Amino acid sequence: MIYDKEKYKIWNWKSPVILHWIINPGLVINELILGQTIPKVMLIEREGDKPFIQRSLIPCPHCGELHSGLKYSAQNKTAIKNWFGFYCDKCTKIIPVQRNLTSLLVLIMTFPIWGWFRNSLKQSWLDKQPERYKNLNLELVTPQMTTKNWLKMGLAWGLFMYLTMVFIFPFIMQEEITQKSMLIGIPIWLIGGLGFGFTMKIWMNKKAR
Ligand SMILES: [Zn+2]
């Protein structure tokens, strides 16, 4: 599809927020367990001083509708459980999403397990969608995210990932937990956590130029 570049800034995999979504390995949890995801293409309104989420639009490639970012947000309880993509409530099709690299690898490796149920899982997910988009509030009610908030959120997420990947995961796999993996894990999940928190901050309140 062709979008108005004068009016919108176009985000795809080359933009930092979506690129971060692809690279940060911890997002496998957000994506596969929570069903949090990011669209392949986003349009950001260049003009206006509305918070970022209100200026970010998610285009549906099937019907051309430009959905407000608030349609898929925590305040509408639609930010998660989007395992198959973003549901377009106009044409009932699915807006394609950008997969995280780690989730993609996990999905490929576990395909023999879930592949059999793929169609029935997708259909039952699809059947539940119209109900979720019936009573949307597209006015922003979520407060802006402060520096303290995003740092706390990022660090909490990083700590959770550190404990999961360094201790819980090796324990389940019956692998040895070494001092080396404990040390290497610190910078990785510190950076991963800050990246996550910072992306969420941009997402929540970036202002137009
Ligand atoms: Zn559509």
> What is the C-alpha separation between 128 and 133, in angstroms, rounded?
10
What pLDDT is stored for residue 208 in this prediction? 46
- DSSP-assigned letter for residue 142: S
Residue 59 C-alpha to ligand 1 middle, in angstroms?
Answer: 8
Residue 80 C-alpha to ligand 1 middle, in angstroms?
Answer: 19
> Which tops the pLDDT comparison, 174 or 125?
125
Is it the case that residue 202 has pLDDT exceeding 90? no
Residue 95 C-alpha to ligand 1 middle, in angstroms?
Answer: 7
pLDDT digits 0-9 by tens, 65-110: 999 999 998 889 999 999 999 999 999 999 999 999 999 999 999 9
Residue 86 C-alpha to ligand 1 middle, in angstroms?
Answer: 10
Residue 152 C-alpha to ligand 1 middle, in angstroms?
Answer: 36
Give Rg (Cα) of the chain. Answer: 18
Q: Which of 98-102, 129-133, 195-199 has the lowest mean pLDDT?
A: 195-199
Residue 79 C-alpha to ligand 1 middle, in angstroms?
Answer: 18
Residue 91 C-alpha to ligand 1 middle, in angstroms?
Answer: 4
56, containing H or E segment:
strand 56-59
Residue 129 C-alpha to ligand 1 middle, in angstroms?
Answer: 13
> What is the C-alpha separation between 57 and 122, in angstroms, rounded?
25
pLDDT digits 0-9 by tens, 141-163: 766 677 788 899 999 999 999 99
- Share of the chain residues as helix, strand and coil, in percent rounded to the nearest 5: 55, 10, 35
CB 55 within 8 A of CB 115: no
Residue 131 C-alpha to ligand 1 middle, in angstroms?
Answer: 16
Amino acid present at 13: W
As a whole number of Å, the end-to-end CA separation of the chain is 25
Residue 66 C-alpha to ligand 1 middle, in angstroms?
Answer: 9
What pLDDT is stored for residue 142 in this prediction? 62
Amino acid present at 99: R
Residue 93 C-alpha to ligand 1 middle, in angstroms?
Answer: 6
Residue 39 C-alpha to ligand 1 middle, in angstroms?
Answer: 13
Q: How confident is the model at residue 54 (pLDDT cuts 50, 70, 90)?
A: confident
CB 80 within 8 A of CB 35: yes
Q: Which of 37-41, 46-50, 106-110 has the lowest mean pLDDT?
A: 46-50
Residue 32 C-alpha to ligand 1 middle, in angstroms?
Answer: 24
Q: Other C-beta atoms within 10 Å of 73: how many?
A: 21
* 19-28 average pLDDT score: 93
